[in-house]
Copies of this chain bind each other. A is one copy, B any other.
């Protein structure tokens, strides 16, 4: 493992970018909000395979949190994150800072209609504005050849891919599989908000999605019946408040008329102090990787 560089300012990042460009290198970029888990680190490993310089950013972006959301209590672990990124093979960690990223009178934003309006966009009205604005800024500063995103935030991948196309950003968006815990729970920094009993119950999101994928595999093509199969276990789960559970077009995120040949199941629910989202393609893609967190920790130790 070579030494990982830590940078904090846009100026440092631009210098680094120009240095990589001058030797004809390719930058792979993994943007994160920190509190890193195996899902994030799988993105770093994937970037490692196709880029010679892997840059991960860690920035809890205030713009993408609404009033009353968890910006203040969002888990932060800078030292742990730096160690995990180094162990996973990142060349550079960009610990961005609010004061460097946003002028006090910052007032320009990227917004999106179409796929950004519904679902997370409806539940969190300024969320995608914040995500798109910060991602545009990060991309403009770093100019990576490839951008690696986890499929866990499915709508986010669609919305960012659309922005990259619409606003002429020259980066290839690579969407990577969701990494899951053994019970099927999608890895998420917000899982830290779950008590142990809630963590078990949270597996119902993935169980509901798998049940829908099975029904689709067995020939079910009616969108309403597929959505009923998706909703049913979620509505039956004690303590879980369902926000949405829908089957949509995988690119426009619009409702589908049958017969549903391809699509995506999208779920959002509250459980205890956490708001959880998950998704699964129809038909199911290759199985998502499953990793025991303890296993992962051991692997990092060995690699390091």
Residues of A within 8 A of B (CB): 10, 14, 102-103, 105-116, 132-133, 136-137, 140-141, 162-163, 165-170, 252
User: Which of B10, B107, B252 is close to A112, meaning CB atoms less than 8 Å apart?
Assistant: B107
User: Which of B105, B110, B137 is close to A109, meaning CB atoms less than 8 Å apart?
Assistant: B110
- When the two chains form their complex, are residues B103 and A168 in contact, meaning their CB atoms are under 8 A apart? no
| Oligomer copy total | 2
- When the two chains form their complex, are residues B108 and A108 in contact, meaning their CB atoms are under 8 A apart? no
- When the two chains form their complex, are residues B111 and A140 in contact, meaning their CB atoms are under 8 A apart? no
- Cα A115 to Cα B108 with chains together (Å): 10
A167-B137, A168-B10 given; A162·B108 CB < 8 A: yes
- When the two chains form their complex, are residues B166 and A140 in contact, meaning their CB atoms are under 8 A apart? no
- Cα A108 to Cα B114 with chains together (Å): 9
- When the two chains form their complex, are residues B166 and A108 in contact, meaning their CB atoms are under 8 A apart? yes
Closest to A107 in B: B114
User: Which of B115, B141, B168, B170 is close to A168, meaning CB atoms less than 8 Å apart?
Assistant: B141
Closest to A165 in B: B103
User: Which of B103, B165, B168 is close to A166, meaning CB atoms less than 8 Å apart?
Assistant: B103
- When the two chains form their complex, are residues A167 and B107 in contact, meaning their CB atoms are under 8 A apart? no
Shortest beta-carbon distance from A158 to chain B in Å: 11
Shortest beta-carbon distance from A125 to chain B in Å: 14
Closest to A116 in B: B107
- When the two chains form their complex, are residues B10 and A166 in contact, meaning their CB atoms are under 8 A apart? no
> Which residues from chain B contact A113 at a C-beta distance below 8 Å?
107, 109
Shortest beta-carbon distance from A20 to chain B in Å: 15
Shortest beta-carbon distance from A76 to chain B in Å: 24
- Cα A109 to Cα B113 with chains together (Å): 8
Q: A103-B166, A107-B162, A140-B168 are in contact. List 5 more A-B contacts (CB 8 A).
A: A14-B170, A107-B166, A108-B166, A109-B112, A111-B111
Could you list some 6 contacts between A and B, CB below 8 A? A102-B166, A105-B114, A108-B132, A110-B111, A137-B167, A140-B170
- When the two chains form their complex, are residues A167 and B112 in contact, meaning their CB atoms are under 8 A apart? no
- When the two chains form their complex, are residues B114 and A111 in contact, meaning their CB atoms are under 8 A apart? no
Shortest beta-carbon distance from A90 to chain B in Å: 22
> Which residues from chain B contact A102 at a C-beta distance below 8 Å?
166
